[in-house]
Structure 1
């Protein structure tokens, strides 16, 4: 058999533990790096990896006595806080499936995702309990609600009491699993085009993501994380850093001044951001010592050239902004720049990550780009739908036939439009379902947004297609204006028309809004923008 020359293959250079059990793997890593710390940058509360490991095994034993085990699901709903990781690792050590619930969800959204995974146990922070008690209580399959902190609300279980027992690490054994088949996490797709779907990730999926090569240089590093841990980027990214033994500082939420003060106070060397956060950071006028930052990791969307140029001024010792491309369905990153990439390609998202070569499993992780209509593979510099296959690709969606989302070769159809160049470097153009169809032309909203963001009066922008009797769809922009700026719709329409071809002009008009709706990873929620438009035919 020969490799297909039109496919892009990841490196097979990857070491995995013999026992494909992520719970066992991460507990061993926590013990190996037991002196490393996770610090709350808001309160300075510190917990060591060793303390997380001890709390995890204590919790696992307590949960098993409550009846938690294989075939059951445990959920967490909490802001970033010190107990989060022992809750995750303790729960999965019982063999249970673990799922996360977005703190910002409404009752309707909580019911929707909970109905997918049907957790019998929910672990939550006091704040989450206060916000969502009625929603949690309305779920008839939930048997117990476990609450962090010293207070114990009526009819709940105290997390502190569950971790109070003392179990020796040498005497503890995680539950047996089939790492290639058993679901470890049920997470939820971003919901940019509809209600979230339940993504099933196996122990093997997460092991491969956590063992990938080229993630870090050998030098000591300290991360600042503000991405919510209930979201894939925060959850999987932090598990990766835990497995590498990195010191971590986290914040419960993003506040500009506090974020910059944390960099200065803790001498942070690595930042994990999404592009809107990076744009806000480089535009912020405050004076802080940010010289400790050596590297910035960005995901969810491409970073613009002017932002990259501004990074050098704001962070004088930052070597580069490394970008990547991934989704919940690929566990974390599917392509990325590595730390040796001092000059990433503008607008690109790196090369295919390492895959797993495990006998009797699928072949290495690899990509193909296909024509959306004919499904034929395309060569370099030819945009098409990106399809992925390999060890980090999800098991499937809960309750959905795999054949709806995977092709006959077993490739997952991402719905993203992109291409790779002669060097195998990937570039993302747009979402297939988000392309605006104007008189037969396919118009990428992201391209118009990038132009709008070049206007000095525009703070943020989102573009969607709106119905048009003669053209099918035309682009409409939603714009958040810079504080103190005065911008008109006509001015922005002219600005775009001078820079983009005719099909990309803003014939649908411009609407001014306080904020562009986005999910926690920074992706624009275009379905909300569509709902905000009047949907009238022009």
Structure 2
């Protein structure tokens, strides 16, 4: 099934040319990026000038066409400038999770073949050992802020070297973000300039982001959601991007109010806070027009609570790192869609739903694994042909590992993961369905569900629950009864454990492997 939206033209150019070749017109002196915690700003003209100087400084240090540079830092306006400076120098960005340990960082540096690491001084205690473990010398570890013993961003931009003449094509690799994909250890995802340009063009056809828009960017730029939907979409649409180096609810609310941010990109954990936390009422959020949730499924009722509380439109989308990342979303003008859905396939995209057991394509209303084909689909996984072949087929379809249904209008709903379905006495139990139900309980702030073995060796649903302030009297029996009254018998939660917080990735995905590790400890 093709997208109901007409195809958009994808220019055959690099991301650098796509974003900067035509200049900025009357937006040259407008704010492109502002750090919401310090008010440090970069206008579009200043931003572009900085990327050119960074490219020159990198070239003077031997970074050229095809060389990989790692970025290991929190969200800052300078992160975005370094990203585009690396691309302007002909390099490839590999963006590292700012929560990584030295060992995890070393794996990415080694696997990607990074020649340089750019970080911040507060990360050096992890960055330096990680670089050394990967075989990099300390003199190629640079910092954004001035730090004794390391060259910094100031040194890069003051090199005085000429800006390199680099012939970058649409087919050249632009970024190597790391993803576990549908299964397994983190792998480098090869995304070309064409992939990133295509996704920006596709997303632009669905949304209403303009030069007047102010985008909140606390979700990390190292993750493809932050990279494309916040950082690069802001540049493409000449909007203002307000950055936060890390998420703090009170600071997030304060910055939203102070900068009159009108477009919030979030993950579901933030939706829970916006729906339930009492502190939200202490701030004037009347500026917020649109809340867009991605990275993990958002429960429709939770989204409706946020919409009512903030008097705004709540939308949802779907994507993967391997899709650059967006393949489906609710358009800005379709706030009438079921919030449990992920909206329509973007322009230029073709989808199939395939029964994982039979390999047969299924029709509207039937569950199947979502397969996606389009110009935003990755080239493959770096140095991993087997993983590429297992995920992307000969026709170019990416097998997402997610179970979805589609209606007759072409609206898709993600209902679970192929690998995460719990099998109870032969019945399939979707964890996401139980998690969404648990979040409707007034005393449950957050929840996650996995399958565990009972005394008979049968896989049963276990709920991990975070209690809302004031709900100290909530018992495991009450949680199980709440679910049992609302689902078929085979879906009942049979074990409950209370936690202080649910382990999640930086993009908001539940880390089920961590929950399973608790069971096996």
Aligned with 2:515: secondary structure?
A: helix
The CA deviation string for residues 450-493 of structure 1, in whole angstroms up to 9 with x for no partner, is: 12112222111111111346464111111111123121112111
Distance in 1, Cα, partners of 2:44 & 2:507: 26
Matches within 5 A, 1:375-386: 375-386=359-370
Shift of the 219–165 alpha-carbon distance from structure 1 to 2, 3 Å rule, reads: closer
The CA deviation string for residues 25-82 of structure 1, in whole angstroms up to 9 with x for no partner, is: 2233664442231111111111112111111111111211211112321000001112
* Residue 224 of structure 1: aligned partner: 216
Q: CA deviation at 1:108?
A: 2.6
Matched, 1:178 2:169: yes
Aligned with 2:114: secondary structure?
A: coil
Q: CA deviation at 1:528?
A: 0.6
Q: CA deviation at 1:282?
A: 2.5
* Residue 358 of structure 1: aligned partner: none
* Residue 123 of structure 1: aligned partner: 118
Q: CA deviation at 1:442?
A: 1.5
* Residue 143 of structure 2: aligned partner: 147
Matched, 1:513 2:499: yes
Distance in 2, Cα, partners of 1:23 & 1:312: 36
**Normalising to structure 1: TM-score of the pair?**
0.90
* Residue 191 of structure 2: aligned partner: 201
Gaps spanning 5+ residues in structure 2: where?
A: none
* Residue 2 of structure 2: aligned partner: 8
In the alignment, is the contact (CA less than 8 A) between 2:466 and 2:498 conserved in 1? yes
Q: CA deviation at 1:426?
A: 0.4
- Residue from 310, 314, 327 that aligns with 1:315: 310
Matched, 1:163 2:157: yes
* Residue 424 of structure 1: aligned partner: 410
Shift of the 330–376 alpha-carbon distance from structure 1 to 2, 3 Å rule, reads: same
The CA deviation string for residues 268-326 of structure 1, in whole angstroms up to 9 with x for no partner, is: 1111111110220232223221111111111123333432332244323x1x1111000
* Residue 486 of structure 2: aligned partner: 499
Q: CA deviation at 1:521?
A: 1.4
Shift of the 368–192 alpha-carbon distance from structure 1 to 2, 3 Å rule, reads: closer
Matched, 1:292 2:287: yes
Gaps spanning 5+ residues in structure 1: where?
A: 1-6, 356-364
In the alignment, is the contact (CA less than 8 A) between 2:294 and 2:318 conserved in 1? yes
* Residue 438 of structure 1: aligned partner: 424
Shift of the 107–61 alpha-carbon distance from structure 1 to 2, 3 Å rule, reads: same
* Residue 369 of structure 1: aligned partner: 353
Matched, 1:393 2:377: yes
- Residue from 445, 448, 454 that aligns with 1:462: 448
Distance in 2, Cα, partners of 1:423 & 1:125: 48
* Residue 74 of structure 1: aligned partner: 69
Shift of the 305–11 alpha-carbon distance from structure 1 to 2, 3 Å rule, reads: closer
Shift of the 339–75 alpha-carbon distance from structure 1 to 2, 3 Å rule, reads: same
Kindly report the root-mean-square deviation, in angstroms, between the aligned alpha carbons of the 2 structures.
Answer: 2.0
- Residue from 33, 43, 46 that aligns with 2:38: 43
* Residue 359 of structure 1: aligned partner: none
Misfit runs of 4+, over 6 Å: none
Distance in 2, Cα, partners of 1:311 & 1:366: 32
Distance in 2, Cα, partners of 1:15 & 1:89: 23
In the alignment, is the contact (CA less than 8 A) between 2:315 and 2:339 conserved in 1? no
* Residue 325 of structure 2: aligned partner: 332
Matched, 1:57 2:60: no
Aligned with 1:8: secondary structure?
A: coil
* Residue 101 of structure 1: aligned partner: 96
Aligned with 1:533: secondary structure?
A: helix
In the alignment, is the contact (CA less than 8 A) between 1:460 and 1:516 conserved in 2? yes
Shift of the 370–450 alpha-carbon distance from structure 1 to 2, 3 Å rule, reads: same
Shift of the 493–200 alpha-carbon distance from structure 1 to 2, 3 Å rule, reads: same
Aligned with 2:322: secondary structure?
A: helix
